[in-house]
Amino acid sequence: MSLFISQAHAAAEGAAPGGGFEMIIMLGMFAAIFYFMIYRPQSKRAKEHKNLMSAMGKGDEVLTSGGLAGKISKISEDNDYLVIALNDNNEVTIKKDYVTAVLPKGTLKSL
């Protein structure tokens, strides 16, 4: 029966001393990598988007996440919606969260 299976021999020594401290250092390194690679950039992006939404005003030209570009014609502060005029005849009501960028003045005329 032991033709293909080698015999396992127990190690004469126990676990290496200091193994718990090395594990704590490794977990600390993983936490630091997680913070600097994932959490910090995401919170920075969220803060920038929040500042963008609070700085929008009537008459600003904006770009939505759906690809619509227009001028803000009305902002509702109480329920976070705004009305975007796509041209003279069409207006769209969207939630403020879907605005991705405020365009420089005169961008819509150059399109």
Which residues are within 8 A (CB) of 81 and not within 5 positions of it... i.e. 6 or more apart? Answer: 93, 94, 95, 96
**Which of 54, 72, 75, 52 is CA-nearest to residue 62?**
72
* Residue type at 67 in one-letter notation: G
pLDDT score for 29: 95
For 21-34, b/e burial (b = at least 16 CB within 10 A) is eeeeeeeeeeeeee
Fold of 58-110: SH3 type barrels. (2.30.30)
Residue ranges of domains in the chain: 20-55, 58-110
Type of residue at 104: P
pTM (whole model) above 0.85: no
Per-residue pLDDT of the chain (111 residues; tens, 9 = 90+): 556 666 656 555 555 565 688 899 999 999 999 999 999 999 999 999 899 888 888 999 999 999 999 999 999 878 889 999 999 899 999 999 899 999 998 888 887
